[in-house]
Amino acid sequence: MAEPSLATGRTRARPGVWARSGGLLRIGLLPVAVLVITLLLIYPLASFLALAWFPGLFGEGSGGFTLRYFAAALNGYAAQALGDSLLVGLASGALATALGLYLSWLTQRSDLPGRRIIDAAAWLVLLMPSYLLAIGWLILLQRGGLLNQLGLQALWLQNLFVGPFGVILVLAMKHVPFAYLATAPSWNAVGGELEEAALVHGLSRFRRSVLLIRLLWPALAAAFAVVFAESLGDFGVAATLGATANFPLATYAIYQALYTTPLSFSLAAASSWLLMALSALAVWVQARVGARTARYAVLSGRSRPPRRVALPRYARVLAWTTLGATGLCALAVPLLSTAFMSFTRVIAYGFSLTNLSLHNYAEVFAHRSILGPLGYSAGMACAAATAALALGLALAGVLSRRSGLARGLDFALLAAMALPGLVLAAGYIFAYNLPFLPLYGTSFLLGMAYAGGAMPSSSRLLLGPLSQVHRSLGEAARVHGLRPQVVLGRVTLPILSEPMLYAWLAAASGVMFELPASELLYPPGRPPLSVALIKFVHGFNFGLSTALEVVSVLAVVLVVWLLRALFAKLAPAGWIRRAV
Amino acid sequence: MKRIWMATLLAGLGGSLALAAQPLIVYSAQGYDRAVVNAFVKATGIPAELVDSSTGPLIARVEAQKQHPQWGVVWFDGAEAMRALADQGLLLKHFEPKVQWNALGRDVVPADGAYVPVSATFAGILVVNTKVIAPAQIPTTWKDLLKPEYRGLVGMNNPAISGPTYPLVAGLFQSLGGTKAGKAYFEALKKNGLHVYDTNGVTLRALFSGAIGIAIVQSSAGVGALLKHEPVKLIYPNPVSLLPGDIGIDAQASPQVISEAKKFVDFVMSKAGQRVMQTGDPGGDSNFYPIVQGENPKVGVTPVQGIHFQKVDPLIWGPKESAINTWFTNNIVH
């Protein structure tokens, strides 16, 4: 029973349907995917990162090969920032993965009443830009903030939160949805018959839980790797909470090198190299699990939908307590603080009924200037998310196989994820603003940057579900004489349709609020939503900017909800795997 | 085959981009820039497109495009950063619009015409939250900020990040008698619990919410806070430093774009242009001091008479910017 995959009677399998459905992918899709990834990620990143050694490459600085920028990047401040980032990545990765696993178990395998709220809340958190969460907490907890205005003094809480603990907590909360979405489909994949077999063999509850967790290893590793890399690459929290708490993170050090005087692309590039080195940790975790990925391929044609566990009373109390605390940290506090700010007439007068007004909302709807950016970003989000999904799918297919190419791509993707969007965006300027390649300043290039930025997370979200599709499914299809294209359309696609929808929505909502690439690459005269939002902050219109944020988040939530409802209504029954 | 298609596609795209009519590309960090660009297009018929961003990202854009610039004019506050671009040969030299400067203007026009000042503010004034600091306790001088009663209550921007803040720091260094005295002053401020935030916006948010009681920010932002009915009082300690808003023109632009860029500067300096600047961002950048004769600041802006201000020479302080910002980041921020 030690081998989890014994349950399907296979031990040497490589997964799965993807590889089997086949020839098409191997011959046609693969080179195109590699080419596109090179254009979207590798070429621009390499252009930028090369500046760490050759500062004179694009007419910046002077001289040939040098190592002095690495020396500068390893001085006290930057080295401290790297250490902080590592701590934050590990801690928020562990916290978010554990929480995400528990939450996905509740929704997928328990009979907890109202469990659908979890799903909706996870989406809401995913849609929220991380800086919004951090700012919401700051509005509440900073000195003179909401808490103080309400007459509550909790200095210890303020000191605790405005520091490493707060940064870790907010990043973990922001990335719980990734862990949740990466693990949720897997609960359905570890079918009921496995648990029944374990019961029949008289295994203890503990052994059964351990076995179950081991079956979920690929999804857990994927979840941890995503959260770790995303936390390393996060800028929103680093620039708000981290900066306020004087807790430097690596992305913030890179930002300082890029956007502040003295500006140094080479220093930013050297710091980026070091940040990427940290992401090697996530690669290692993934590689360890990925090397034995076949053992976890359990979703075969014989799988039956799993059974839900009836929760006893104490477990329900525990579940609701965890949910309440998570909801409070991840959504309620930051959203309520932000919403409160948006209803405030004069900020300094703080919390009082007479100071509340709808004035800011009236202005939002009077400001027609915001509608253009909203529409532009929506269009870009749809296009870029579709591209990111297609590429992410192709990539996940390559990654789920064992090959040198897969390992190389894997590293490139995780490294790209750990870099702040700023680095990729700056790389795009160097790479595509050439006399013979004048793409800079076009919507097309911005779309490329969006797709390139979203692609790594998309492929991660799809990798878990894809790894669990057992190859026997593909073999069965071949025995029945189905051509590879048909296998793709009638076996693989239905199984992956739900994760694909998730990945698309995650990419699209991420693009809607993406700031660094938008700021550096947007075509003249066509500002995206995030650029328009930040403009109000710079104009000190805090009430107006928070009102705008509330409206934008609500609009995105509405669209996501509609799309999900449509999917549930329109998708064939077989496309949606549900526990019974 | 696919590669060939891709190459053809890219080449075609590039070709069509090169053939299309070139609008004037305006890179700007000013709050009123959208209004000014729209008015310029309307008044002159010259097509123009705006890239609005903070000063940091704008300069990063400009420097990253060094070999193949995609902008026509760049517009932000602070002569030192303009001087740095000029020193790299990125700005067109020897251009000065035909206008009558007033006293403020004469102080900030560069001798080599490498950029054009179009407005002025003061780099750092004290904005005091009267709900935190009682009226009788309000500080009036720079030295006052070192008193124990203001411990932990003073906030300012990071000069490495916020465009208008380096001139403030350089100005204080200058008025205190040099680098050594200036460093000592900021070290004393830090000992007294100085908070350093990223930009005017963040510092003001901390001020309004009561996290600090005194914010050292750009004068236009302080006036904006007053106009928004926040309970603040503005103090102009002796001296405050003059901060010009400057426009630079791309040195490598085509003659057509350079001529359009000059027309853009002329429009900004015209009566119509100055009106748009004063109405385009009433809560912030519109609260500037005009630097041409015959123009007055908009209502609500503190009259310049009675304010003791000084000029900060970018030729002296510009070259020191990197060193001072690095010192500030390492010793005051962290």
For the stretch B78-88, pLDDT in tens is 898 899 899 98
Which has more confidence, B110 or A61? B110
For the stretch B177-220, pLDDT in tens is 999 999 999 999 999 999 998 778 788 888 988 889 999 999 99
Nearest chain B residue to A444 by CA: give it.
B13
Task: From chain B, pick out residues whose CB is under 8 angstroms from the CB of A350.
Answer: 209-210
- Does the domain spanning A4-326+352-575 belong to CATH 1.10.3720.10? yes
Structure tokens at A325: 């605390």
pLDDT, mean of residues A7-12: 34
Residue B307 lies in a domain: no
Same-domain check for residues B278 and B254: yes
- pLDDT of A53 strictly over 90: no
Structure tokens at A46: 């390499």
For the stretch A277-294, pLDDT in tens is 887 777 677 667 765 555
According to the model, what pLDDT value does residue A5 have? 32
For the stretch A486-513, pLDDT in tens is 776 777 777 778 778 878 888 898 898 8
| Alpha carbon distance A395, A498 (integer Å) | 18
Portion 221-280 of B in contact with A at CB < 8 A: 221, 224-225, 228-232
Task: From chain B, pick out residues whose CB is under 8 angstroms from the CB of A439.
Answer: 10, 13-14
| Alpha carbon distance A401, A571 (integer Å) | 29
Please say whether the beta carbons of A47 and A431 come within 8 A.
yes
> What is the DSSP code (8-state) at residue B164?
T
Same-domain check for residues B132 and B194: yes
pLDDT, mean of residues B129-143: 94
| Of A195-199, A209-213, A399-403, the least confident | A399-403
Three-state DSSP string of A352-363: CHHHECCHHHHH
According to the model, what pLDDT value does residue A344 have? 78
| 3-state class (DSSP) for residue A277 | helix
Residue B204 lies in a domain: yes
What is the domain count for chain B? 2
Q: Which residues contact B75 (CB under 8 A, 6 or more apart)?
A: B26, B27, B28, B29, B30, B33, B118, B245, B246, B247, B248
Give phi and psi for B75, each to the nearest 5: -140, 115
Same-domain check for residues B88 and B63: yes
According to the model, what pLDDT value does residue A497 have? 81
Cross-chain Cβ contact A259/B206 below 8 Å = no
Same-domain check for residues B263 and B219: no
Which amino acid does the sequence have at B195?
Answer: H
Interface test with A, best of B51, B157, B226, B331 (most A CBs within 10 A): B51
Give phi and psi for B218, each to the nearest 5: -60, 145
| Alpha carbon distance A373, B200 (integer Å) | 24
Closest CA to B111 of B259, B270, B314, B289: B314
Residue B224 lies in a domain: yes
Please say whether the beta carbons of B21 and B269 come within 8 A.
no
Q: Which residues contact A504 (CB under 8 A, 6 or more apart)?
A: A385, A386, A388, A389, A458
Q: Token pair 């190592």 is at which residue?
A: A67
Give A344's strand partners: A356
Highest mean pLDDT among A45-59, A102-116, A128-142, B236-250: B236-250
Cross-chain Cβ contact B65/A436 below 8 Å = no
| Alpha carbon distance A426, A520 (integer Å) | 7
Structure tokens at A112: 């907890």
Give B75's strand partners: B28, B247
Which has more confidence, B249 or A248? B249
CATH number where B260 lies: 3.40.190.10
| Alpha carbon distance B173, B324 (integer Å) | 10
| Alpha carbon distance A263, A257 (integer Å) | 6
According to the model, what pLDDT value does residue A11 have? 35
How does the average pLDDT of chain B come out, rounded? 89
| Alpha carbon distance B241, B78 (integer Å) | 11
According to the model, what pLDDT value does residue B318 have? 85
Nearest chain B residue to A35 by CA: give it.
B3
Interface test with B, best of A254, A538, A545 (most B CBs within 10 A): A538
| Of A96-105, A466-475, B107-116, the least confident | A466-475
For the stretch B21-41, pLDDT in tens is 578 999 999 999 999 999 999
Which H or E run contains A203?
none
Cross-chain Cβ contact B211/A144 below 8 Å = yes
| Alpha carbon distance A206, B329 (integer Å) | 53
A239–chain B Cβ distance below 8 A for any pair = yes
Task: From chain A, pick out residues whose CB is under 8 angstroms from the CB of B224.
Answer: 540
Q: Which residues contact A201 (CB under 8 A, 6 or more apart)?
A: A1
| Alpha carbon distance B92, B74 (integer Å) | 11
For the stretch B266-325, pLDDT in tens is 999 999 999 999 999 888 899 999 999 999 999 989 999 989 999 998 889 988 888 898
Give phi and psi for A469, each to the nearest 5: -80, 110
According to the model, what pLDDT value does residue B21 have? 59
| 3-state class (DSSP) for residue B123 | coil
Which has more confidence, A175 or A302? A175
Portion 61-80 of A in contact with B at CB < 8 A: 76-77
Structure tokens at A437: 């390649």
For the stretch A517-564, pLDDT in tens is 898 899 998 999 888 877 776 666 677 778 878 887 788 788 878 888
Task: From chain A, pick out residues whose CB is under 8 angstroms from the CB of B326.
Answer: 262
Phi-psi region of B178 (alpha: psi -120 to 50; beta: other; left: phi over 0): left
According to the model, what pLDDT value does residue B278 have? 96
Same-domain check for residues B237 and B137: yes
| Alpha carbon distance B324, B189 (integer Å) | 16
Same-domain check for residues B291 and B234: no
| Alpha carbon distance B134, A333 (integer Å) | 32
Domain interval for residue B181: 125-241+314-333
Phi-psi region of A75 (alpha: psi -120 to 50; beta: other; left: phi over 0): beta
According to the model, what pLDDT value does residue B12 have? 45
Same-domain check for residues B194 and B263: no
Q: Provide the pairing of β-strand B232-235 with B214-217.
A: unpaired
Please say whether the beta carbons of A258 and A73 come within 8 A.
no
Cross-chain Cβ contact B49/A246 below 8 Å = no
**Chain B nearest CA to A58, separation (Å):** 7
Please say whether the beta carbons of B155 and B323 come within 8 A.
no
Q: Is the ipTM of this complex over 0.90?
A: no
Same-domain check for residues B86 and B40: yes
Q: Which residues contact B269 (CB under 8 A, 6 or more apart)?
A: B97, B99, B116, B118, B292
Please say whether the beta carbons of A440 and B10 come within 8 A.
no
Same-domain check for residues B249 and B232: no
Same-domain check for residues B137 and B202: yes
- pLDDT of A388 strictly over 50: yes
- pLDDT-derived band at A19, boundaries 50, 70, 90: very low
Phi-psi region of B328 (alpha: psi -120 to 50; beta: other; left: phi over 0): alpha
Which amino acid does the sequence have at B265?
Answer: V
Residue B166 lies in a domain: yes
| Of A87-96, A232-241, B34-43, B106-115, the least confident | A232-241
- pLDDT of A485 strictly over 90: no
Distance of CA A520 to the CA centre of its chain: 21
Task: From chain B, pick out residues whose CB is under 8 angstroms from the CB of A360.
Answer: none
Closest CA to B201 of A546, A363, A143: A546
The reported pTM is 0.81
Same-domain check for residues B197 and B318: yes
According to the model, what pLDDT value does residue A15 have? 42
Give B119's strand partners: B245
Nearest chain B residue to A440 by CA: give it.
B70
Which H or E run contains A95?
helix A76-109
For the stretch A319-353, pLDDT in tens is 899 989 988 888 888 888 888 888 877 766 666 77
According to the model, what pLDDT value does residue B113 have? 94
How does the average pLDDT of chain A come out, rounded? 79
Q: Provide the pairing of β-strand B240-249 with B73-77.
A: antiparallel
Q: What percent of chain A has pLDDT over 90?
A: 14
